[in-house]
Amino acid sequence: MAFDLDMIKKVYDRYSTRVDAARKATGKHLTLTEKILYAHLSEGDAQTAFGRGVDYVDFAPDRVAMQDATAQMALLQFMQAGRPQVAVPSTVHCDHLIQAKIGATEDLSTAKDVNKEVYDFLASVSDKYGLGFWKPGAGIIHQVVLENYAFPGGMMIGTDSHTPNAGGLGMIAIGVGGADACDVMAGLPWELKFPKLIGVKLTGKLSGWTSAKDVILRVAGILTVKGGTGAIVEYFGEGARSLSATGKGTICNMGAEIGATTSVFGYDEKIATYLSGTKRADIAELANAVKEHLTGDDEVYANPELYFDQVIEINLDELEPHVNGPFTPDLAWPISKFATAVKENNWPAELEVGLIGSCTNSSYEDITRSASIAKQAIDKHLKTKAEFTITPGSELVRYTVERDGYLGTFESMGGVVLANACGPCIGQWARHTSDPTRKNSIITSFNRNFAKRQDGNPNTHAFVASPEIVTAFAIAGSLTFNPLTDTLTNELGEQVKLDEPMGIEMPIKGYAVEDAGYQAPAEDGSTVEVKVDPKSARLQLLDPFAAWEGVDIKGLKLLIKAKGKCTTDHISMAGPWLKFRGHLDNISNNMLIGAINYFNNTADSVKNELTGEYGPVPATQRDYKAHGIGSIVVGDENYGEGSSREHAAMEPRHLGVRAILVKSFARIHETNLKKQGMLGITFADSNDYDKIQEDDSIDITGLTEFAPGKQLTVVLNHKDGTVESFPVNHTYNAQQIEWFKAGGALNIIRKQMVS
């Protein structure tokens, strides 16, 4: 649990030489993003990668963090790497597998019983290889990292798409797949395409009902779910400095929803205060000594258009509270226009459930602001109309807000406190409803609201807002209520209006906890045995994927031509499938079952070219694999947006899909495909998507001359005997092409460790 001050000092020592060298090499002032990236260049790239004319660059992250659903596969891969211990500080956090049904105590007890096999595996493998282990109930990975491990100017990778939460403390924190984490834990450089830079200038100061959540909801509306792809977002200005550290974390967390590589704020007094308040004053002292390196140069912020690829300006004095949705986190509505949007779009106005908390909004400040609204409901004799749940982000926060009476306030107004875990945010939730098929509305303070994500019901209209707005809506029970202007009828028949929320950034009595839930690894893990039952339905040791045959790939069947949005939730659903995250073959039975087939507008129904019949996607692909036939998946724009789950790349690879051809990829998913030795290609002309027919036999040629920047060719052999072909693009560099040829990056790591 202890942070490594010597490591942090070494990181800060690099800044003085690297930043000066970068300024000389580039002849310009530097953004904060550039300073952090340059300070973390691997030694081989340290003298050659300054400036932004480079492509892929190798970095040396300071630490790795993994949540339990993704850590299983990441550590199963690491076990094949041949190392006795992880090379950098690494942690595992048990937050995804706890299902919310009744309440915190009962749900946690059930999870420990149901998931015992997985928890025991993660604890033992952490013990053996030197990873810190955060037990179930300790809290959500990103909140725990913010409270214990994040530090200004550091670099971390994590096997969850919301790893950028740590940007709230000035850290470059990037969500990756397990194979990337395996690389870093094995002591190898970590590769990233050098990002574009988006600057967000914040002026003014938040007040009233408006919160940090509304900043990112507004940014999502501006940039959309793919506007940040390939970019790091850097926030600056007086408005940025006025935000609490946890508020900054909220903004960085939800940057994943715009496709950004990560988001970051510069080091300031708010961050220093949070570090001191979470017993890390010595880190703040180290940061104060190099604070000029932990923010962008003054000249950059004075003339941001000269240093960023795109600049957005938001005046916090004028910013309204926002509600985003339904079905996508970038459909942004100012509160003054939301009721009209609900009516005009015929969305269900009655609110069935309001949910607050999650990794995005479960800080002390969030809880106190929401509790101030809940207290008003009690004092003003208002009966809460919708079901209401609270998910604390960590045991540290839960214990502290319970001590200070806030959990009691929520319970008095009818709220149910859930376990310190992801729960409803990722579909780990037993939804209470009399009709699971009817159109309905819920609102959350979570980060993601794709169709079916929270409860598996495509008719659930999920909206996203700040915790205090969610609380107000839950009290009103209607999405047409505007808490800033409208009144409610209380139990006495009186018209009452909710006052503005009041919050406290840091607990006046300080944070407190009896058992944070941390387990340190064994000092010597060489004698620790990691057991995986061969008959287990939840854990399965991995076999290496086969290497490329050395020839063009021909005769592929079209498995599915996915229509419209195809996120990682469509490719590999969470919810009940989380229990199979450590068993590749079993979880592959959910492969692409949420994707919509272009040819029949139906999910999980594709034509089996061997039988002519329609059936489930996984079963169809298993039939092709049994007959030694490869297949191809075709997709639309931003294919694979959403979470970092590499299962969405490993499942097609395991079942024999040879290539993914789409209009464009989301960043993490494209990298995950490459790591697993899969061929991920994009249409040179997006209109060629329309040429692909259901009965095509498809060839991919040019692979014998596979090279960076060189197009490949897709050949469509139509059922009527005609043939069409068109060029396709790829982003593979020389190293990634070697991953493809070897059958995956892990195969290369294994060889390197042996040699």
As annotated, the active-site residues are 95-96, 160, 448, 643, 645
User: For residue 365, what are the CA distances in angstroms to 151, 251, 376, 648?
Assistant: 20, 14, 17, 35
Q: How far apart are CA 692 and CA 713, in angstroms?
A: 14
Phi and psi for 7 in degrees, rounded to 5?
-65, -45
Measured distance CA(328)–CA(451) in Å, rounded: 8
> What is the rounded CA–CA span in Å between residue 303 and residue 442?
42
Locus of tokens 């986190």: 329
Residue of 726, 703, 705 whose CA lies nearest to 714: 726
Angle at 213 between CA 208 and CA 219, to 5 degrees: 115
Q: Are 151 and 107 in contact (CB under 8 A)?
A: no
Neighbours of 54 (CB within 10 A): 12
283 vs 319: CA distance, rounded Å: 33
Question: Which residues have a Cβ under 8 Å from the Cβ of 313 and sit 6 or more positions away?
Answer: 200, 201, 202, 203
The alpha carbons of the chain give a radius of gyration, in whole angstroms, of 25
Per DSSP (E only), the strands in 31-131 are 56-59, 63-67, 90-93
Helical axes 281-289 vs 5-26, angle rounded to 10° = 20
> Does the N-terminal peptide bond of residue 152 adopt cis geometry, omega within 30 degrees of 0?
no
For residue 273, give both structure tokens.
Answer: 């205060």
The DSSP call for residue 429 is: B
Q: From CA 37, how far away is CA 32, in angstroms rounded?
A: 9
Closest CA to 280 of 168, 149, 398: 149
Q: Contact at 8 Å (CB) between 703 and 551?
A: yes
DSSP state of 115: T
| Residue listed under structure tokens 């041949």 | 82
Give the whole-angstrom CA distance, residue 755 versus residue 753.
5
* Whether the Cβ atoms of residue 81 and residue 544 lie closer than 8 Å to each other: no
Asked if 324 and 450 touch (Cβ cutoff 8 Å), the reply is no
